[in-house]
Structure 1
Amino acid sequence: PGHLSVGWAGKELPLPGDLSAAAFFVVGASIVPGSDLTITGVGINPTRTGLLDALTEMGADIQVLNRREQVGEPVADLRVRSAALHGIRVGAERIPETIDEFPILCAAAALAEGETAITGAQELRVKESDRIATMAIELTKMGAAITETPDGLIIQGSGARATRRLRGASCHSHGDHRVAMSLAIAGLVADAPTRIEDAGCIDTSFPGFEAKLLELLTQSGRGL
């Protein structure tokens, strides 16, 4: 039989930034007073923007700027400024597009004004951890008012009231990288330091997370 040889030349491609990684900083900038943060080159494929849609409904100040395309994918820069969030309803139809961002959405809801109800999320019980139970347990340690249901959570947000702020606590990641990062973001506005055990799991998806968070806090001095 004959042989066919095909040569392919290597090429550098500018890949869009991962929205599920940017999500932690989007929420951080939304809840930390005085924040004004721009994240450049973020992929905004409509199948991945569920968290942005939910946060916008909650009152977040998010601008999608400089829309463009990279390697066939829609990309934009996100400018996020701190804002007063309020509770919303997140039903089963919205879970597929927010499934990776569920932990950080819970953190945002704990700091919003009023009730956020998340339903139809039973699939999250079999992720890296049971994310429904884990977020209920860990945010409750920080003083959040949360009711766990078979398929989701009901979160009574603390809003801007100083008497109901989240408190610093010793929390555990349960070996789940997204839980660890979400608790770190919630800890930014707690009344005392928050310690997260087994935070090394963050390296699973975002090895530079802690360094980037510290860099932003050091640069700004007040917000993100």
Structure 2
Amino acid sequence: RMGARVSGRQGGRLAPLAIDGGRLGGIDYATPVASAQVKSAVLLAGLFAEGATSVREPAQSRDHTERMLGAFGAAVERDGLTTRLRGPATLRAARVRVPDDFSSAAYFIVAASLVPGSEVEIRDVGLNSTRTGLLDILKMMGARVEVGDLREESGEPVGTVAVRASRLHGTVIGGDLVPRAIDELPVLAVAACFAEGETVIRDAAELRVKESDRVEALARELGRLGARIEPRPDGMVIAGGRPVQGGRVTSGGDHRIAMSLAVAGLCAAGSDTVEDPDNIETS
């Protein structure tokens, strides 16, 4: 639609793909799901296109690209769930400090919430509100989480997260919270296993098309440890408070499943062995 030529199997729909550039034109694109990756790809192409390019989303996705382009001098406009820019655009060099990754910090935050007597402080971590749904969900579950030293660096909110162990209870996770916590939902499912009561995760069908089908992977592997998880097309229902035992589980090649299972092992009654953990190195 922007003027590039894409060839591949099934009319350019399947890899391997060959992309021939050319004179691109701006477009108005509505994404079928809230996807920062798709949004970013269209906006980056829009930098080199003639005219305006806009991306409309059904819900707010991560906005790191928009913030970074602004830091490099691009005139990015945001109006609700629509982001637009005009090309061709000229960027200027800038000094950038990349904050620590919130998704990586999430496993330590959840572990500290679950392991009795724990107290963890994570400094200089990125606290972009499009990424920190996990903090809101943990607070809904009764976690003791505090955010301090909040500031902005290179257009990104940065600060310190302090968390202490606490008794968690079940909750309902859905709607606008999901895109803000989609990568953290696996470890939140682990937290739900150790919480009192039932936790429902819905509106999260995207979990089934990640590096693995994370709904089935969590139900299967955590089930081996004694958890009870009912898979649903767009999420799962987790019965909390059941005894979770140690055991042998596998990541299925998915780094977020591997790290979530490791957190489960910290709280299980007995040792937990996670097979195929090498993928964690790429996380």
User: TM-score band (shorter)?
Assistant: 0.7 to 0.9
Larger Rg: 2
Residue 51 of structure 1 pairs with residue 129 of structure 2 = no
1:81 Cα shift?
0.2
Which among 195, 207, 210 is matched to residue 112 of structure 1?
195
2:22 aligned residue: none
Residue 198 of structure 1 pairs with residue 276 of structure 2 = yes
- What is the TM-score with the length of structure 1 in the denominator? 0.83
Distance (Å, rounded) in 2 between the aligned partners of 1:124 and 1:46? 20
Distance (Å, rounded) in 2 between the aligned partners of 1:183 and 1:38? 22
Distance (Å, rounded) in 1 between the aligned partners of 2:93 and 2:234? 49
Which among 120, 131, 137 is matched to residue 37 of structure 1?
120
Alignment RMSD (CA, Å): 1.4
Question: C-alpha deviations, 1:109-164, integer Å up to 9, x for none?
Answer: 11111000011111111100000100111111111111111111100111xxxxx4
Residue 154 of structure 1 pairs with residue 229 of structure 2 = no
Secondary structure in structure 1 of the residue aligned to 2:229: strand
Which among 264, 269, 274 is matched to residue 186 of structure 1?
264
Which among 97, 100, 104 is matched to residue 14 of structure 1?
97
Residue 169 of structure 1 pairs with residue 252 of structure 2 = no
Distance (Å, rounded) in 1 between the aligned partners of 2:253 and 2:198? 28
What is the aligned residue count? 192
2:177 aligned residue: 94
1:102 Cα shift?
1.3
Higher relative contact order (CA 8 A, sep 6+): 1
1:14 Cα shift?
2.8
Q: Which runs of 4+ in 1 moved over 3 A?
A: 8-11
- What is the TM-score with the length of structure 2 in the denominator? 0.66
Q: Which amino acid aligns with 1:76?
A: G
1:93 Cα shift?
2.9
Distance (Å, rounded) in 2 between the aligned partners of 1:28 and 1:82? 8
1:9 Cα shift?
7.7
Secondary structure in structure 2 of the residue aligned to 1:129: coil
Distance (Å, rounded) in 1 between the aligned partners of 2:282 and 2:203? 27
Question: C-alpha deviations, 1:38-65, integer Å up to 9, x for none?
Answer: 0001111110111111001100100101
Distance (Å, rounded) in 2 between the aligned partners of 1:78 and 1:178? 21
Secondary structure in structure 2 of the residue aligned to 1:184: helix
Point out the structure with the larger helix share: 1
- Where structure 2 has 5 or more consecutive residues not aligned to the other structure, the ranges are 1-91
Residue 130 of structure 1 pairs with residue 208 of structure 2 = no
Distance (Å, rounded) in 1 between the aligned partners of 2:223 and 2:175? 24
Which segment is superposed worse, 72-81 or 90-99? 90-99
Question: C-alpha deviations, 1:70-119, integer Å up to 9, x for none?
Answer: 11111110010000000000123321111111111101111111000011
